[in-house]
Structure 1
């Protein structure tokens, strides 16, 4: 956020990431990569971290509550494709 000095909150997030409790920038991308490349992945499945704030990527049994509306999900997908020029 443009701060010259480290903050307590940033130190806590880094610690939680090192301990595997919270995700990192790299681990946040892993569920999407798995969904796009796994040979068994289908279009109606949801991949995410095994814990709400981090963990290894996995096929999850249900969508998170804010993502359960399929019309919203379709609009998000369409807008994502538009933004990347597909």
Structure 2
């Protein structure tokens, strides 16, 4: 695994649901609650609303896609993975870069 300091991650509510792809300096494996909190308080109402509803229902999953060495690389990776997962047929609702 790369030793980058930025994490590209996905959020969904099950194996066949990928709602959001983004990036952060926080570890999805070690700091998921902080990432959820950051997203719930973000300026993106659609993402914040979905995260809040998913947390309330207990149906939220977070997974690390890859690491990146810079914020610019993380943004580019998040954009790539959003396009890739859409190409595979998943309905990625939001990609925040």
Structure exhibiting the larger radius of gyration computed from Cα positions: 1
Same fold (TM over 0.5): no
- Relative contact order: is structure 1 or structure 2 higher (C-alpha 8 Å, sep ≥ 6)? 2
TM-score w.r.t. structure 1 length? 0.29
Question: Which has the larger share of strand?
Answer: 2
